[in-house]
Structure 1
């Protein structure tokens, strides 16, 4: 071996030793935990996108002292705080949301449901425990507006019956607060909400002097480059979305620019907004907009908010539209059919305390001589029954 070769070999060996000391063995495969930060950050965003209201991290991270999430359970008081495996997980009447999160962690999954369903899930776990459930679960999430809990069980097994029962129960419980709710279909995805949180989710558009406010963001009329109804998102003869392209993009709080906004026909104030949008946008169907020019008083809630055969306030079809859609059955009196429809819709409006949330609907004018058609006795009877009022 020549002197030159020996020098080169020595330098190479020295270089490898330095790399090994500074960065560890470069030829060793990385362990799962080396990539856990990236995995957890992705899982956390997925969980939040699915409506979770509690932070989500893998159980592995709880043992890593340097991470801020290690203290997630530190100050919390809950039954299974010291539990480290499924065999020791306790199910009793003292469970809380931290226990649910711990159960998910022990199974290596995310708790992808909102706070309002936590009591329902705890109740379900107690029933599953009575059937000898082994604490193993592969998924806890909301899907199609119902609670989905995936665990191994046989068809027609008591455990399967319990899962189906609570899946149905969840469809009547507000995901946000746990109060009585119903499935809402307005926003492009199904979810369960009480009237308060439904109104909050509907959004609002209000007219200003030089423009409009849509969901708390102000847009100037002269900043609109183009406006048209997005027919790709329409499933009937009525337009569901108005698409607006801006000249100067609106900068979101996150820093992302938004050059296009969609205003849905279910937001409060939609009818009034259409009546104020400037004329002259090529491609905008102004003949369709004429259907919203003269709102009428609603016979159900009493507010002047009936645009194009539907009340924007209580969201009920007008009697004429309902009658046209379903027709009066043979042998039934049309006037009596109308009275039945209006009366049951009015009682439903009372049940959800609709008048309480009217300010959030845009302060519609109420008809002074609006008539209530049901009696107190009929209303009490209505409260004791379910699904009495007709669906649109």
Structure 2
């Protein structure tokens, strides 16, 4: 977790003075800078209702919870910081990547990577394969069924009972193309 030195540094920022910190030292500089920028922005725009509720790591990225304002620029600042943590090592602050070790998501540089960790993409492939292995056909209960879209609902079917359905992946690709075309034609 956060060292006493870094905790004391962050507590010098007034918007952080009453909240717990639930992240490691590697993100201290980013969160310190974010806090300073938020304080400056709020002062310049006379925003007095901004209140930080919690700052923590969840699924390898920063979660910065606040209330009191719906200012779009503040939301963008927070979102940008949250996205940056996807490539900043939680331990030391060096460039890293999101990894999964035995189901625990974390962001780490090479030095702090746990042996045997998977990339997020590798983990998703394994999870998808496990999910398919457990999925039963809605007709015959055979395991290993694919998810198919029948036009109104998602259904699980083995190859024998597939009929004219499209897979859920095919459906979402088709849906995304339709959405892009609709936006383009506006």
Which TM-score applies when normalising by structure 1? 0.26
* Residue 128 (structure 1) aligns with: 38
- 1:162 counterpart (55, 71, 77): 77
Q: How is 1:214-363 mapped onto 2 (pairs within 5 angstroms)? A: 235=127, 236=129
Looking at structure 2, the residues matched to 102 and 140 of structure 1 have their Cα atoms a distance apart, in angstroms, of: 15
- 2:17 counterpart (87, 92, 106): 106
Aligned residues: 115
Cα distance per residue 1:40-70 (max 9 Å; x no partner): xxxxxxxxxxxx2336xxxxxxxxxxxxxxx
Change (3 A) 1:203 1:184: closer
* Residue 148 (structure 1) aligns with: 63
User: Is 1:54 equivalent to 2:3 in the alignment?
Assistant: yes
**Gap regions ≥5 residues in structure 2:** 118-125, 131-186
Looking at structure 2, the residues matched to 105 and 161 of structure 1 have their Cα atoms a distance apart, in angstroms, of: 19
Looking at structure 2, the residues matched to 101 and 54 of structure 1 have their Cα atoms a distance apart, in angstroms, of: 12
RMSD value, Cα: 2.8
User: Is 1:202 equivalent to 2:144 in the alignment?
Assistant: no
- 2:25 counterpart (109, 115, 122): 115
Comparing both chains, which one has the higher relative contact order based on Cα–Cα distances under 8 Å and sequence gaps of 6 or more?
A: 2
Looking at structure 1, the residues matched to 68 and 98 of structure 2 have their Cα atoms a distance apart, in angstroms, of: 28
* Residue 177 (structure 1) aligns with: 92
Offset, 1:197: 0.4
SS in 1 for 2:62: strand
Looking at structure 2, the residues matched to 129 and 142 of structure 1 have their Cα atoms a distance apart, in angstroms, of: 22
SS in 2 for 1:142: strand
Cα distance per residue 1:5-25 (max 9 Å; x no partner): xxxxxxxxxxxxxxxxxxxxx
Cα distance per residue 1:87-107 (max 9 Å; x no partner): xxxxxxxxx541314668732
SS in 1 for 2:51: coil
Looking at structure 2, the residues matched to 102 and 129 of structure 1 have their Cα atoms a distance apart, in angstroms, of: 12
**Gap regions ≥5 residues in structure 1:** 1-51, 56-75, 77-95, 205-233, 238-392
Looking at structure 1, the residues matched to 31 and 80 of structure 2 have their Cα atoms a distance apart, in angstroms, of: 12
Aligned 8 A contact 2:51 2:68 in 1: no
Aligned 8 A contact 1:182 1:193 in 2: yes
Structure with the bigger percentage of strand = 2
Looking at structure 2, the residues matched to 189 and 137 of structure 1 have their Cα atoms a distance apart, in angstroms, of: 26
Greater C-alpha radius of gyration: 1
